[in-house]
Structure 1
Amino acid sequence: MNRPPTLYEPAGPLGRKRQCVFSVVSALAVCALLLGIGMRLQSSGQFDADKWAIFLHWGTVRFLLDGLVSTIMAAACSALAAFVLALPLALWRLSMRPWVSRLAGAYIEFFRAIPLLLLILFMVIELPALRLDWPALGFLVFAMALHHSALTAEVVRAGILSLPRGQREAALALGMRPSQAMLLVVLPQALRSMLPALISSVLAIVQDTSLGYVIPYDELLHRSQDVSSYAPQSLLQAAFIVTMMYGLVSAVLLYLKRCVLRRQGRALARGVTKRTRTGAATVVEAAQDVCAPAAEVNSRE
């Protein structure tokens, strides 16, 4: 029986016991740390009702929810623009023409190397000098699209390279042009396989929208700063609530990613089972074809 390749040898009985002990000790250490932090916050009065009272008003809740909507809108626009730019970049990066591949590689390496915060500030300072007076959302989306398109292009390129070369060769053998083979055969399969990685890219974009507070764009983090400036005693509470709201969006995306991974795993298992059954049926048919002449000879004798 062939064993699946692994990066390390599976642990034995003693190794599994050690891993269990380390897991229990680590969990107890984390619980003790959280308990110590909670006791420190309790002693400093961070759980007092007057510091949380502002978040019980519907006006404050609606104010933060509007900031969350602005964050999601900026993330959605940035993700769409980044993917639209990343798709041709990945194809150009894989081009057989050296100058096209080098230009796409230079773009990717350049915008990957620039910190996103500096890129946002550069857009805000320089674009108005070129008479491009956009709203804050436009500056944020443009900067994030340039930065994340370079990152997403590498994800798309890795997904294309992960497919077997036989897919493209079979399409070319059927008479397709290289561009048709890429767009109609290779790219759809690559997009399906790299969907979990694309969801992780969207999660990174959602988290990076918090940098819009420097513009300032009226997103969730900026709204929390407005709340804490109105109620300075609730600074830590505002940061905690905003962190939970970001965590909720991240949890939804991670759940979606797990659902996609489970669905791909079930599809792969069904494909393996179908190929196994097909192979077994082929072996049986071949055996019958081999045994049939011998049975006829014996019957004649």
Structure 2
Amino acid sequence: MSAQPTVLFDAPGPRGRRNILLLNIVGVLLVVGLIVKVLVDLAQKGQLAGHLWINAINGAAWQDYLLPGLQFTLQAAAISVATSLVFGLAFGFLRLAPFAVIRWGASIIVEFLRAVPVLVMMVFLYTALAQVSRTTGAIAAEDSPYYAVIIGLTLYNGSVIAELIRSGVNGLPKGQREAASAIGMTRNQSLLLVEVPQAITAMMPSLLSQIVIIIKDSALGYLIGFYELLQYSRQLGSGQGNMLQALVVAALVFIVLNTVLTLVARWLAGRLSSRTSGATALKPGPAGSSAPHL
């Protein structure tokens, strides 16, 4: 007897399940075979030699390359997270303003910034800041990539956060706004003190996921000369003659960092969910039953 059908498709029968299992086995074997082929090719070219990997993870590599690169990556990401939250809160509030002109203007800006790829934004900002550096000297030329990365991450991710806040507020029950109005709050007071805080709590998992994305996108700064973990890893590989090993180590650092941040985000989301779920209401007893004594 087959399983119950779902909304989108009928559940497969015994023959269908056997075919799916067979395809899964074939897929796993193909992946394993590809991995073995890559490892054999690397071994034949001497890329699995122990000294190449040791030079990519020894103390000197961490002290001179990996830790400084990780420091700049986290520094740019931390600043971008803070500025993105400020930008997102400001434009999220403007998109909920009672005046149509303000809402339209904020919506145009947010939608434009969301549509532009973050890498394109970084390249444009780097070019503009480099021109400002050459003409006015207000910004040091070597700092242009750093500021371009931070501003690019802020504009793109801030616009995403603004949309999250707007959708979160619009998803709240209308009773929240009506209750705030009933106690004499203005529209702006209701947004600031009642609706936006609840929207932030409701959208916290998505906001935390966006912070993880900021960490990942900071690596794009390598393409405009920003000295972050990937750039330092390439320098390590160029100096030691182990480019592959250095990039693999950098990738593992990014994987560990993003995995830790994802786990923290899930933990915080779970804590917030448990704190805001409220106590379970008492089920009504049978007619004529008395209330529990205090």
Fold-level match, TM-score > 0.5? yes
**Structure-to-structure mapping, 1:39-188, within 5 angstroms:** 39-62=40-63, 63-127=65-129, 128=132, 129=135, 131-134=137-140, 135=143, 136-188=145-197
Q: Deviations over 1:10-52 (max 9, x none)?
A: 9588599569826555444433433333233223321112322
Three-state SS of the structure 2 residue aligned to 1:96 is coil
Q: Distance in 2 between matches of 1:27 and 1:40?
A: 20
Three-state SS of the structure 2 residue aligned to 1:163 is coil
Q: Does residue 45 of structure 2 align to residue 37 of structure 1?
A: no
Q: Does residue 198 of structure 2 align to residue 189 of structure 1?
A: yes
Query: Which structure features the higher share of helix residues?
Result: 1
- Aligned residue type for 1:93: R
Indicate if the aligned counterparts of 2:56 and 2:236 stay in contact, CA closer than 8 A: no
C-alpha distance 90-42 of structure 1, shift in aligned 2 (>3 A): same
Q: Distance in 2 between matches of 1:163 and 1:14?
A: 45
Q: Distance in 2 between matches of 1:170 and 1:28?
A: 60
Q: Which residue of 2 aligns with 1:199?
A: 208
Three-state SS of the structure 2 residue aligned to 1:288 is coil
Q: Distance in 2 between matches of 1:264 and 1:18?
A: 43
The worse-fitting range, judged by mean Cα deviation, of 222-231 and 30-39 is 30-39
Q: Does residue 229 of structure 2 align to residue 229 of structure 1?
A: no
Q: What count of residue pairs does the alignment treat as equivalent?
A: 276
TM-score normalised to structure 1 length: 0.80
Indicate if the aligned counterparts of 2:113 and 2:159 stay in contact, CA closer than 8 A: yes
**Post-superposition offset of 1:68:** 0.5
Q: Distance in 2 between matches of 1:259 and 1:15?
A: 41
Q: Which residue of 2 aligns with 1:256?
A: 264
**Post-superposition offset of 1:60:** 1.1
Q: Does residue 210 of structure 2 align to residue 210 of structure 1?
A: no
**Post-superposition offset of 1:107:** 0.8
**Post-superposition offset of 1:188:** 1.4
- Aligned residue type for 1:184: L
Q: Distance in 1 between matches of 2:197 and 2:227?
A: 37
The worse-fitting range, judged by mean Cα deviation, of 22-31 and 167-176 is 22-31
Unpaired runs of 5+ in structure 1?
1-5, 290-301
Give runs of ≥4 in structure 1 deviating > 6 Å: none
- Aligned residue type for 2:56: F
Q: Distance in 2 between matches of 1:12 and 1:166?
A: 45
Q: Deviations over 1:129-162 (max 9, x none)?
A: 4553152433321222122211221122222222
- Aligned residue type for 1:126: A
C-alpha distance 167-23 of structure 1, shift in aligned 2 (>3 A): farther
Unpaired runs of 5+ in structure 2?
1-5, 290-294
Match of 2:246 among 238, 248, 251: 238
C-alpha distance 32-167 of structure 1, shift in aligned 2 (>3 A): farther
- Aligned residue type for 2:173: P
When the two chains are superposed, the root-mean-square deviation of aligned CA atoms in Å is 2.9
Q: Aligned residues: percent identity? A: 29
Indicate if the aligned counterparts of 2:123 and 2:224 stay in contact, CA closer than 8 A: yes
Q: Deviations over 1:181-223 (max 9, x none)?
A: 1111111111111111111111111111112223422210110
- Aligned residue type for 1:173: A
Three-state SS of the structure 2 residue aligned to 1:148 is helix
- Aligned residue type for 2:247: A
Q: Which of structures 1 and 2 has the bigger CA Rg?
A: 1
Q: Which residue of 2 aligns with 1:293?
A: none
TM-score normalised to structure 2 length: 0.82
